[in-house]
Amino acid sequence: MNVDFNLLMDKAKDASKNSYSPFSRFAVGAAVLASSGNIYQGCNVENSSFGMTICAERCAIFKAVSEGEREIRAVAIYSPNADSCYPCGACRQVMYEFESDVEEIEVVTENLGQLEINKLSYFLPCGFKI
């Protein structure tokens, strides 16, 4: 499957506008490309009970899963508040859970205006799956 990384990043940027981040003021948007070709967007949603907060990547992945998707092909992550925005450990593990047995997830970030594309194993070299 060909991936339009620019389109995916544009969707992540668009999603960041919906961020609810009154505590950190660190808005994040994500766009997930499922193996079906569908794209799902998500943003971070904070809560005053910080443990209830969800990252943009997990928001987008859970939206995809709730629509019946089970394999993620690529994830774009964007924050207007940083030169680059990488996934946290929890998001890395969730991504790994929905990685295809055939194809590794590609993680797209933007660093100083340039797209960076890395395989998930770059961020999570020894993921855990049952």
CATH number of domain containing 48: 3.40.140.10
> Which pLDDT tens digit goes with each residue over 17-30?
999 999 999 999 99
> Which pLDDT tens digit goes with each residue over 23-59?
999 999 999 999 999 999 999 999 999 999 999 999 9
Range(s) of the domain holding residue 46: 5-123
> Which pLDDT tens digit goes with each residue over 71-120?
999 999 999 999 989 999 999 999 999 998 888 999 999 988 899 999 99
Q: What is the pLDDT of residue 2?
A: 87
User: What total of structural domains would you count in the chain?
Assistant: 1
| Spatial CA neighbour of 77 closest among 125, 18, 123, 10 | 10
| Spatial CA neighbour of 90 closest among 130, 118, 119, 62 | 62
* b/e code 53-88 from CB counts within 10 Å (16+ = b): bbbbbbbbbbebbeeebeebbbbbbbbeeeeebbbe
Question: Which positions are catalytic?
Answer: 57
What's this model's pTM, rounded to 2 decimal places? 0.95
Q: What is the pLDDT of residue 80?
A: 95
* Average confidence score pLDDT of the chain: 96
Residue 128 inside a domain? The answer is no
